[in-house]
Each structure stands twice: as C-alpha cells, then as structure tokens.
Amino acid sequence: MSISPYDRDLYRAFTELACEPGAVGDGFARWLGALPEQLAKGLDRKRHADLKAWHGALEKLPTLPDEREVQLDADRVGACFPTGLSTGQQRQSENLLRAMMPWRKGPYQLDEIHIDTEWRSDWKWQRLAPHLSDLTHRRMLDVGGGNGYHGWRMVGAGAAFTLVIDPSPRFYCQFHAVRHFIGADHPQGRNLHFLPVGIEDVPAKMAAFDTVFSMGVLYHRPSPMDHLFQLRDALRPGGELVLETLVVEGDVTTVLMPGERYAAMPNVYFLPSSRALAHWCERAGFKDVRIVDEAVTTLDEQRSTDWMTYHSLSDFLDPDDPRLTREGHPAPRRAVLIATRA
C-alpha cells in the first residue's frame, strides 16, 4: 500500500494509539484498518473534479526555511520566518493559496500573507476557550472542523493529539497548505491531523477521545439525536462535549424546522432553543450540561472578504429587517454548549 506523504503522520499517530490499552487501542486499531478505504474515497478525483487543481497547488508550494516561529495560540494562526521569504516565494505562495479559495475558517498569518477568511473563527474560540477543561495532553476530535483552524488552536492549548474530520477535499488541501508553513516536523505540527470523512465514518462506540468538538454541524443533520449519540459514543466516559449550533429563542419545547432553505442554506433541519438543546443532550446521555455562550451572528463575524468573494451573511438577511433571514426566519443565532459524557 502506498501512503501519501501528507498522510504518513496520520498513519503513524493511529498506529501508536492502536497500541494503547483498553478502549483507546481497540478503537484506533479498528479505525486504522479502515483508513486506506476512507482516504481513497475522500480524495477520489472522480468524485471531486476540482481536487486535481487544489492538490496541484499544494504540491507547488515553495520549499521554506527550516527556522520558523510558529503561532498557534494567537488569533492569526500561522508561522513567520526570521530569515524572510523572497518576494518570489511570497508571490508564488499567495497565488497558490488563492487557488484553493474560498477560505471559510481562520484567520491565518503565513509569513507576510494574511488570509482573511469569511469567518472570524478566532472570536468563537475567544468566547468558548475560558469554559474548556484544560486541554493539556488530551485526545481531541473536531467534527466538521473545516480547514482545521480550531484544531490548531487546540494544539496550541496543549492537546497531545487532535484529529480534524471533514469530508471536504478542499479543506484537506487547505489544512495541508497551512501545515506546510507551520512545519510537518514541528513538534506541534505533528500533533494535528486531518481525515476527509464525516462522523458516520468514526468507528462505532469508540469511547477514545477526551474532548469532542462539533461546531456548525448539528443543524445540518436530519436526525440531531443520532448526531448527539455519535458524539457521545466517540467520547470516553467523563469526556467533554463542545457543541455549537444555530438556535432560536424560546423555552424547552421550542424548535424551528425551516422550509427548503434557511439563510439561503438548503440543508438546515432543526433549530432548537438553547434550553431545548440542553434537554436533547441530557436525553442523549450527557450530564453537567451548560450553555456558555449565546449570541446573534454579526456581519463583522461572517462576511465576504478578499479570500472568500462569494455571498455571505449580509446577502442572506432581509434587506429591510436584518433581524430576519430573507426567508422570514429569525436571523442566525448561535449557542455554545459544554457537557460531560455520563
């Protein structure tokens, strides 16, 4: 079996974890056996016509100096090079990174290149970070983690192993582009990995992660309770869930089921109130459930940029009443919930 250079550290980490005793070793041993098929499916160029171009851009990124200063605990995740990059290297890098647009989550600072992403994901991290358990030495799973921005922040906070899963091959290429600057051999760079799969591809009842993140995923699931069960089963007993999703105002019985679209998104199913969301989590087998943040998404937090030139939040709201989406639903409001697996 030929292993891509981009996936060697992933295989190494899974192999090491498969040797751990108990549920951790058993879960990763099962997953290790499924990796070749999952990677082949997730990176199948017949299914993803643009993957060849994104992968080509990734492979053309210039060789960088070994000496670098890595910033994973800063709002702009990235690296800079004390000896500097040449003007040609800067220009080549920026052109290749732009070939992978749009960039949704960030921001990133790759030497002199500022990738101003659609989402100010650093604001979300600032809101939830004070409420997290100490991440030092923890095993983390970031479900639907996009290009890995929050995964880098987890590693920067001390996580020993973080796995970002997201079925988008574009995000896979963006992740490895950022990792190229941070350094695949950098001690922290070796602690973060990306697998182009969804939560349904995680082995059943794995019970191997100390913390599981699911941010911006639940409302895309036609069966939100099944998603909560999947998140629970990935956690060890006593592990921590960090859940962020769209919510509406209301009591424990309030749930909005939009029509064909919500804020122009075609695959939004259920928006509970934060109290209903907490109740769902309790029913799914979590305890110590608490809402740590709830706020309306602002036009400063999600917007079009030079690195994401398509429509964004301002285009999806009622032009006469920004409290509503253009379909007439309440404007996007998000809650962050933290809970413990019972």
pLDDT digits (tens, 9 = 90+) for 46-77: 989 999 999 999 999 999 999 999 999 999 99
156 φ, ψ (degrees, to nearest 5): -65, -25
Q: Which helix (H) or strand (E) holds 106?
A: strand 105-106
pLDDT score of 152 more than 90: yes
What pLDDT, in 10s, does the model give residues 281-331?
Answer: 999 999 999 999 999 999 999 999 999 999 999 999 999 999 999 999 999
Say whether 70 sits in a helix, a strand or coil.
strand
Q: Which helix (H) or strand (E) holds 181?
A: helix 169-182
Residue 187: predicted pLDDT = 86
State yes or no: 4 annotated in a binding site: no
State yes or no: 199 annotated in a binding site: yes
What pLDDT, in 10s, does the model give residues 79-103?
Answer: 999 999 999 999 999 999 999 999 9
State yes or no: 93 annotated in a binding site: no
Residue 161: CB partners within 8 Å, gap ≥ 6?
Answer: 13, 17, 138, 139, 140, 191, 193
pLDDT score of 9 more than 80: yes
The alpha-carbon radius of gyration of the chain (Å, integer) is: 20
Measured CA to CA, the distance from residue 37 to residue 34 in angstroms comes to 6
51 φ, ψ (degrees, to nearest 5): -60, -35
State yes or no: 46 annotated in a binding site: no
Strand partners, 334: 246, 295
Mean predicted confidence (pLDDT) in 183-195: 92
- The answer to whether 111 touches 127, Cβ cutoff 8 Å, is no
Domain ranges of the chain: 5-341
Residue 1: predicted pLDDT = 59
pLDDT band at 188 (very low <50, low <70, confident <90, very high): confident
State yes or no: 144 annotated in a binding site: yes
State yes or no: 168 annotated in a binding site: yes
**What's the whole-number average pLDDT of the chain?**
97
Mean predicted confidence (pLDDT) in 242-251: 98
What pTM did the predictor assign? 0.97
Residue 140: CB partners within 8 Å, gap ≥ 6?
Answer: 151, 154, 159, 161, 162, 163, 209, 210, 211, 212, 213
State yes or no: 219 annotated in a binding site: yes
Measured CA to CA, the distance from residue 92 to residue 100 in angstroms comes to 13
Measured CA to CA, the distance from residue 115 to residue 80 in angstroms comes to 14
pLDDT band at 170 (very low <50, low <70, confident <90, very high): very high
Mean predicted confidence (pLDDT) in 108-129: 98
CA atoms lying within 13 Å on the CB side of residue 264: 10
pLDDT band at 189 (very low <50, low <70, confident <90, very high): confident
Measured CA to CA, the distance from residue 205 to residue 286 in angstroms comes to 15
pLDDT band at 2 (very low <50, low <70, confident <90, very high): confident
Residue 312: CB partners within 8 Å, gap ≥ 6?
Answer: 118, 302, 303, 304
Q: Are strands 286-296 and 317-318 parallel, antiparallel or unpaired?
A: unpaired
State yes or no: 149 annotated in a binding site: no
CATH architecture group of domain 5-341:
3-Layer(aba) Sandwich (3.40)
